[in-house]
């Protein structure tokens, strides 16, 4: 059972893109996310009260958690859901966001302090990692380029997906650098509240009303109960049990897993060229992730 937990986490993570595809025909993105963040924060607060969990200590810690909430929740999810609403496929946006480990490796090398010899630090990008970078971006080009002329990928929704990619990358780096260890439930509650404050005003700019279709209700229930509460709890357990590296090594399976789900549920085409590009990207990201481990 314990050995299966990383795989279950990856499956849960993959459903996030599918849920966006399921809900977006019936709701504008920020209306959905505002309600999701509000319900998630409420659930976490109740959980904290029942478990008597400790809240973060100090203004600095609260400020860092707010920053990560804005980036990793409002920025990342807002970009993904808005991109899906704008017509991009779940598999395509999962592939784009799946390049996070690649950007992280580049950022670490680019921000080495002056005077540090890249050849004498593990933070440098190795030859093997450069191969992974080339494979990853080549595969992405195979997937995205043919779709630029079909209407699925447009400059607008591609920009939104890139915003999501940059947000989750910067948010992850920021959290590793500044956020001190604390209870995952209280940290998540602060992040949800921060994301709520950012997304709520954007609802007033959305002209479409929420259509409470069965798919929308299922998407909301899954987003709050499984993705937010279940996913966060499972990740917390995995880290406690020392399985964090297993999760990291499996995250590059999210794009193909999402593509298969989107094909089964929505009939999103998986052309041979797209399969080739996805395989190249998965291999490229796998090379970078394994090298960074």
pLDDT at 121: 46
Q: Supply 19's token pair.
A: 């849920």
* Full DSSP string of 222-288: HIIIIIIIIHHHHHHHHHHTT-HHHHHHHGGGHHHHHHHHHHHHH-----HHHHHHHHHHHHHHHHH
Nearest one of 226, 232, 162, 171 to 198, comparing CA atoms: 171
Sole residue written with tokens 């499996």: 250
Q: What is the rounded average pLDDT of the residues 193-208?
A: 95
* Rounded mean pLDDT, 63-71: 94
Q: Shortest CA distance to 19 belongs to which of 215, 236, 278?
A: 215
**210 vs 276, residue with greater confidence:** 210
pLDDT tens, residue by residue, 96-127: 887 776 777 677 666 655 544 444 444 556 77
Q: With beta carbons less than 8 A apart as the criterion, state whether 33 and 81 touch.
A: yes
Cβ-contact 64, 148 below 8 angstroms: no
First-to-final CA distance of the chain = 24
Lowest mean pLDDT among 15-29, 100-114, 140-154, 262-276: 100-114
Residue 118 is predicted with a pLDDT of 45
When mean pLDDT is compared across 181-185, 244-248, 263-267, the lowest value belongs to 244-248
Say what the pLDDT of residue 267 is: 79
Q: Categorise residue 126: left if φ over 0, alpha if ψ from -120 to 50, beta otherwise.
A: beta
Q: Rounded CA gap, 70 and 65, in Å? A: 9
Task: Work out the mean pLDDT of the chain and round it to a whole number.
Answer: 81
Query: Max alpha carbon distance in the chain (Å)?
Result: 59
Q: Provide the pLDDT for residue 120.
A: 45
Which pLDDT score, from 0 to 100, does residue 23 have?
Answer: 93
Domain ranges of the chain: 5-292
Question: Do the beta carbons of residue 79 and residue 161 sit within 8 Å?
Answer: yes
Look at 229 and 198; give whichever has higher pLDDT.
Answer: 198
Residue 91 has a pLDDT of 80
The pTM is what?
0.83
If phi over 0 gives left and psi between -120 and 50 gives alpha, with beta otherwise, what is residue 114?
Answer: beta
Q: Name the nearest CA neighbour of 168 among 79, 43, 48.
A: 79
More confident call, 173 vs 148: 173
């Amino acid at each position: 059972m314990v050995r299966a937990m990383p795989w279950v986490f990856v499956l849960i993570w993959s459903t996030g893109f599918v849920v966006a595809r399921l809900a977006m025909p019936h709701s504008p993105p920020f209306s959905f996310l505002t309600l999701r963040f509000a319900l998630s924060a409420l659930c976490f607060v109740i959980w904290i009260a029942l478990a008597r969990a400790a809240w973060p200590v100090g203004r600095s810690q609260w400020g860092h958690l707010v920053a990560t909430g804005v980036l990793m929740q409002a920025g990342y999810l807002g970009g993904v859901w808005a991109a899906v609403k704008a017509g991009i496929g779940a598999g395509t946006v999962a592939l784009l966001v799946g390049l996070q480990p690649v950007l992280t490796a580049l950022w670490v090398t680019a921000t080495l302090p002056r005077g540090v010899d890249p050849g004498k630090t593990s933070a440098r990008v190795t030859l093997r990692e450069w191969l992974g970078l080339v494979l990853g971006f080549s595969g992405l080009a195979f997937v995205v380029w043919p779709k630029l002329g079909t209407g699925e990928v447009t400059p607008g929704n591609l920009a939104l997906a890139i915003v999501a990619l940059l947000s989750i990358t910067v948010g992850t780096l920021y959290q590793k650098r500044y956020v001190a260890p604390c209870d995952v439930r209280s940290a998540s509650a602060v992040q949800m509240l921060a994301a709520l404050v950012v997304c709520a005003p954007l609802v007033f700019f959305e002209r479409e009303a929420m259509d409470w279709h069965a798919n929308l209700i299922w998407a909301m229930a899954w987003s709050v109960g499984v993705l937010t509460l279940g996913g966060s709890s499972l990740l917390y357990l995995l880290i406690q049990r020392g399985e964090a590296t297993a999760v990291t090594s499996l995250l590059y399976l999210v794009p193909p897993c999402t593509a298969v789900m989107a094909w089964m549920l929505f009939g999103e085409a998986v052309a041979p060229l797209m399969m080739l590009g996805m395989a190249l990207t998965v291999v490229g990201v796998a090379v970078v992730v394994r090298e960074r481990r």
